[in-house]
Chain A
Amino acid sequence: MKARSSAHGQTPVGRNLELPSYLEQSDAVRDRFRRLKQRPVVLEVESLGKTFDSAQGTVTALRDISFKTHRREFVCVIGPSGCGKSTLIRILAGLESATSGRVLLDGKAVHGPGPDRGMVFQGYTLFPWLTVKKNVMFGLEMAGRGKLAAEEEAMQWIDLVGLGKFARSYPHQLSGGMKQRVAIARALANQPRILLMDEPFGALDAQTRARMQAYLMEIWANIDITILFITHDLDEAIFLADRILVLKAHPGEVSELIEVPVAQPRKPEQLLTPEFLATRKRLEALIHHPEKEPGLNGDHLNMVRMVSVNDEVESVF
């Protein structure tokens, strides 16, 4: 929570601390990135653009977005609100069409949604009329798998996210974290080339979110999956990502593609390492909030004392 409150860039972590540059990488990290970039490219985005027609005229949501994602890489997309990160992931999923540019998956242009790009939404989107097992079987059945084979395969994925006991439960009987685990299992069951996650843990409480991050890292480490993960939480992005794609708003453009210098595999203790803090400082600098909230005086409300002078509790301090 402390991390969130300092996300404004006005109170950078470790202002008085000597931090290394976020560009400095240890030998192990540098070597890892060298090997990572030699892997085949799974997702390639070529000068993607998106404009909307609105009453105020044409609005550019995305302009000239280009990046490559390598196999089994974990990429986080981060940016201020209005930078079009949700639009970007929806275009990648095929739920919206781009105005210009193109998206290549394994070198082939994609049109429309398909099972090769799994998606996990913030709002869970489990089918309420299906049990956990049937939810996970949905994609397998769509792929024409037989009922028995689909059932068996679905159970493996459900066990993988630790919900074997809840296979016969309906979504409304599960907690938020469990629902999102089912949604992840459902997306993975199709064995997509890339897993697109749109702020998947945004609606969860802090503890559940931390646990879900750990689960996700474990899943990612053990199966052949490339992940593109949208978040607005800086710590989450640094903790999860190999590389962070930072967008800026109005119009949505790539501001920087940061290689996270924190060593893999990640552990929660790394949140306080100099590399982590240096990356965080850089992100804060990139995602500043130029426009002030209307009606506010900087970071302060226009408050006057509204407690009686001779009140029992004179001051809260």
Chain B
Amino acid sequence: MSSSPWFAVRKPMRPRTRLVTSVMSFVLPLLIWSLVSYVPQVWHPKVEITDPGSVTYLRPGMLVDREAFDSEVRQARERHVAVPAGNPANPIYLPAPHQVAKAFYTAFTDAPQRRSEKWLHESLWESIQVIFWGFLLSSLLGVPLGILAGTYDVISRLFEPFVEFFRYLPAPAFGALAVAILGIYQAPKIAIIFIGTFFQQVLIISNTTRKLDPTLLEAAQTLGARNLALLFRVVVPGIVTDLFRDMRILLGWAWTYLIVAELIGTSSGITWFITQQARYKNFDNVFAAIMMIGIIGLGTDLLLAWLGRRIFPWQQAAAEA
């Protein structure tokens, strides 16, 4: 059994098995979710009332705990009055897959129930803009600074101790300050994403830069490269593939700061949509929105990975090594 191809240590599987396994990683959770949702014997701690019978406080469609329901049934039988009826159900916060799928679809087709609410895609678009600007501004400063700090010791000493200190300050703590300085609309949200990303970015990229093989720099010097040529013709292209990978990871982190960012100032965006829908107990919408973030995140990452393979044709070597 130890020679089975499924558990060979650090050996790639055959492409077909590999694809099947990757698909399974999504199918398995879906299967568990379906099992819990559709098989009445599994979990289902509540009862959805279909007929209240003689119990006065029950209404059709109401969810009650199974123990409470069972005792009402018992009492009704003892007193020989109409027995309430109902079906096993899950708590409201766990909608079934088909409900979420429907919400996913209606989010784009049916207008929101309340006039003050926004469409899901509007909220989503607001969030994407916040992420985009926050991440762009952070990268415009963080990437050059990280590369310089990784290349020149003086810049590393000048910036990194402070960055190291600042990175421990929680970005959400700056929420009130950001609102005071930048107003209540998009600006403070972008600032939170910036603070959450920038300091990590500088440190991660300076470390990536330091990992560049020093003999490449030495070889370039013996070929006549100096100062700026060394930086732009050797350091930057030498780390660009790793840099790209770092950026993909950092973009994921930027999304995690979104939830805080969107709750300050005037609440908006996808996380606000989620909070509000949860308040109205529309948990199918909540799940649909959460999944949409996941799909956008994974989609962007796959797109960037594909793009990376296209722009950096030499990086297969690094992947294979």
Contacts and interface: CB of A to CB of B under 8 A. Distances in A.
A79 interface: no
Given A113-B218, A138-B233, A143 B224 contact: yes
Given A127-B234, A129-B237, A172 B316 contact: yes
A190 B216 contact: no
A95 to B, nearest CB: 5
A142 interface: yes
A113 B225 CA distance: 9
Contact of B215 (A123, A128, A186, A196): A123
Contacts of B221: 94-95, 112-113
A114 B224 contact: yes
A196 B241 CA distance: 31
B218 A125 contact: yes
A170 B222 contact: no
A261 interface: no
Q: Which of A94, A117, A142, A196 has the most CB of B within 10 A?
A: A142
Contacts of A171: 314, 317
B315 to A, nearest CB: 8
Interface of B: 213, 215-216, 218-226, 229, 233-234, 237-238, 240-241, 312-314, 316-318, 320-321
B222 A128 contact: no
Contacts of B219: 119, 121, 125, 127
A139 interface: yes
A123 B217 CA distance: 13
B222 A93 contact: yes
A82 interface: no
Contacts of A95: 218, 221-222
Nearest to A118: B222
A150 interface: no
Given A128-B314, A128-B318, A129-B238, 19 more contacts: A95-B221, A95-B222, A112-B221, A115-B223, A118-B222, A118-B223, A125-B213, A125-B215, A125-B216, A128-B317, A129-B312, A129-B314, A138-B223, A138-B225, A139-B223, A142-B226, A142-B233, A143-B224, A172-B316
A142 B229 contact: yes
A187 interface: yes
A119 B317 contact: no
Nearest to B221: A113
Contacts of B238: 127-129
A171 B320 CA distance: 13
Nearest to B312: A129
A138 B232 CA distance: 13
B316 A115 contact: no
A66 B220 CA distance: 28
A139 B224 contact: yes
Interface in A184-211: 186-187, 190, 196
Contact of B223 (A94, A129, A190): A190
Nearest to A144: B224
A117 B221 CA distance: 10
Contacts of A93: 218, 222
B77 to A, nearest CB: 78
Contacts of B240: 129
B317 A172 contact: yes
Which has the most chain A C-beta neighbours within 10 Å: B224, B313, B316, B317?
B224
A170 B317 contact: yes
A119 B215 CA distance: 11
Contact of B237 (A119, A121, A127, A172): A127
Most buried by A among B219, B221, B314: B219
A200 B208 CA distance: 28
A192 to B, nearest CB: 8
A75 B147 CA distance: 40
Given A127-B237, A127-B238, A129-B238, A138 B220 contact: yes
A195 to B, nearest CB: 10
A198 to B, nearest CB: 10
9 contacts: A95-B218, A114-B222, A118-B222, A125-B215, A127-B238, A129-B240, A143-B224, A186-B223, A196-B222
A127 B213 CA distance: 10
Contacts of B225: 138, 142
Nearest to B219: A125
A113 B222 CA distance: 5
B216 A127 contact: yes
